[in-house]
Amino acid sequence: MSLFFMTATAEQSAAEREAPKETARQAPQSLLSRLAWPTLGLVLPVTLAAGWEIAVGLGLSTGRLLPPPSVIFDTFLDLASTGELQAHTLATGMRVAAGFFFGVIAGTIVGAVAGYSALTHRLIDPTLQGLRAVPSIAWVPLFILWFGIFEASKIILIAVGVFFPVYLGVMGAVISVDRKIVEVGRVFRLSGLAMIRRILLPAVLPAYVISLRAGLGLGWMFVLAAEFLGASEGLGFLLIDGQQLGKPAQIVAAIVAFGVLGKFTDYLIAAIAAPFLRWEDVVSHR
């Protein structure tokens, strides 16, 4: 028996000596993987863009209705050189930011109250679920009558789009809080504020972040409908102007700008929320 323990101890010591070496070998490799992992998302769009550029270059398509990436890039440069791209992007971004702010506040408050109070849930949830099914374009004529064609109607329309996913996410997260962890808080005699800070907020936060990202995505979708309300600037106006003047490159450039801005703002929310979600014990952090 003593021989067995001596052998096991020797093997453990050897393993401990090898561990730092193994860690040193894995450190550069893990750093390389962290740097390379985000670039995988560029493989598909870059491949499609290169394929279309080659197809147009070989004469397989005229590229008239769907211009190749080189033409779209030149359009971006032209718009940027005149300052139009910056002005339209800033106008759209400010509208989305304002609508997102008000939609998040309203959705968070109403969702938290509806999730916490069964009576409130039964009173307002059926109506809100019915309104959630109304298409965004259907609100446009009504908001024009109520708020005119100025910025207020546009921001309110975007806020409506953001409100519903945030409301659903918060309400569902509050309702689905595990009763056992609440009982643990009561056993430890946590106060109301301590219960919210140490029990409810951590339980709700992951679903809340997802609802914020979903609401932001709808905010970028609703801003296009909002800029149909007589806007004279914005990426939506740039898109409509390209349609009316028969400029497909400008239309595609506006669509690409929407996609880039949407992805960038989604990444910002995920990056800001990441430090608050480090405690999650999940299968994989992607």
Residue 146 in domain: yes
> 272 vs 19, which has greater pLDDT?
272
Burial class (CB in 10 A: 0-12, 13-18, 19+), 58: exposed
3-state helix, strand, coil in the chain (%, to 5): 85, 0, 15
> 145 vs 80, which has greater pLDDT?
80
> 89 vs 226, which has greater pLDDT?
89
Q: Report whether 169 contacts 210 (CB < 8 A).
A: yes
Beta carbons within 8 Å of 150's beta carbon, 6+ residues apart: none
Residue 108 in domain: yes
How wide is the angle at C-alpha 58 spanned by C-alphas 53 and 60, nearest 5°? 90
> 177 vs 155, which has greater pLDDT?
155
Q: Give the pair of three-digit tokens for residue 271.
A: 């990056």
Q: Among 31-45, 120-134, 137-151, 255-269, which is the least confidently predicted range?
A: 31-45
Residue 154 in domain: yes
Smallest CA-to-CA distance from 261 within 137, 96, 49, 82 is with 96
Buried b / exposed e over 28-53, threshold 16 CB at 10 Å, is: eeeeeeeeeeeeeeeeeeeeebeebb
Residue 47 in domain: no
Domains contained in the chain, number: 1
Confidence of residue 1 (pLDDT cuts 50, 70, 90): very low
Residue 274 DSSP symbol: G
pLDDT in tens, 127-148: 998 988 888 778 888 888 888 7
- Residue 271 — φ and ψ, nearest 5°? -70, -40
Residue 249 in domain: yes
Residue 74 in domain: yes
pLDDT in tens, 229-255: 777 888 888 888 888 888 888 889 999
- Domain extent at residue 232: 67-277
Is a pLDDT exceeding 60 seen at residue 179? yes
Q: Give the pair of three-digit tokens for residue 68.
A: 């190749």
Q: Give the pair of three-digit tokens for residue 277.
A: 């979600």
Q: What average pLDDT does range 197-218 have in this prediction? A: 86
pLDDT, residue 192, reads: 67
pTM above 0.85, yes or no: no
Give the amino acid at 103: G
Which CATH number fits the domain that encloses residue 78? 1.10.3720.10
